[in-house]
Structure 1
């Protein structure tokens, strides 16, 4: 089974709740999973040869939440290439804010990880708060597919 770091960006706790359910599901399926709610660059780099899962809400004008922003900026500034990293992104947003802002936090993280040569396990999941009242309910089917494809 895989060793997976779950890195969460949350403002009001919604993404953190989804991340907690995801970690529970990963563990119940035999994976070694650890949740990071205030992740550092060192935390993230510890998984550079394994699997990272970013679960993030989107704030304001399509931005990354404050607790995840330092990690994003450090990765962007130091630009450590990570071709051995497999990753997934669950992006949470509200489509009523407009297409250019919708799930912006997750879209930005996904794009950066691709620039760092990390390999997506499967396509990013965008969860729309206008459609999915329970984000975890929307995330769990995607997670099943992610777990089938994740390298162990």
Structure 2
């Protein structure tokens, strides 16, 4: 059984919907998933597979609820971490998915293993981003998630 930690950065709730949909798909497959809406690095087991799902806020910043977590990652040893990154954004802005890109950079700097190229969901193309995220996640895992 695989264990997942779904780490959420959200302002208006879309990333939370994505997290809920991913958790449901993971649990239907017999694996476990815990959602972290106020993520703290010290509370997220490194032996879980991280799925970081974040939107971008303002002028390309991370949402308030995930900023502390991102600061914790800056100097952390992440060599034991395996992760997926999902970004939500609006491609009409030049800061499209900058939040997810910032998280990706921090993960790489800390030595984490990215299990896939990050997914950047354009809400203009996919107005229900959780459907796109679940389909992508299923395609990235060797498991047959229901």
TM-score (norm 2): 0.93
1:39-64 CA deviation, whole Å, 9 max, x = no partner? 112123x2x23311100011011110
Point out 4+ residue stretches in structure 1 off by more than 3 angstroms: none
Q: CA deviation at 1:84?
A: 2.1
Cα deviation for residue 112 of structure 1 reads 0.5
User: Which of 59, 63, 70 is equivalent to 1:72?
Assistant: 70
Unaligned runs of 5+ in 1: none
Q: Distance in 2 between matches of 1:114 and 1:56?
A: 17
1:90 — aligned with what? 86
Structure 2 residue ranges without an equivalent (≥5)? none
Cα distance per residue 1:105-139 (max 9 Å; x no partner): 11100111011111011110000011111101111
* Equivalent position SS for 1:89: strand
Deviation at 1:146?
Answer: 3.0
Once the 2 structures are TM-superposed, how far is the Cα of residue 142 of structure 1 from its aligned partner? 1.0
Q: What residue is the counterpart of 2:99 in the other structure? A: 105
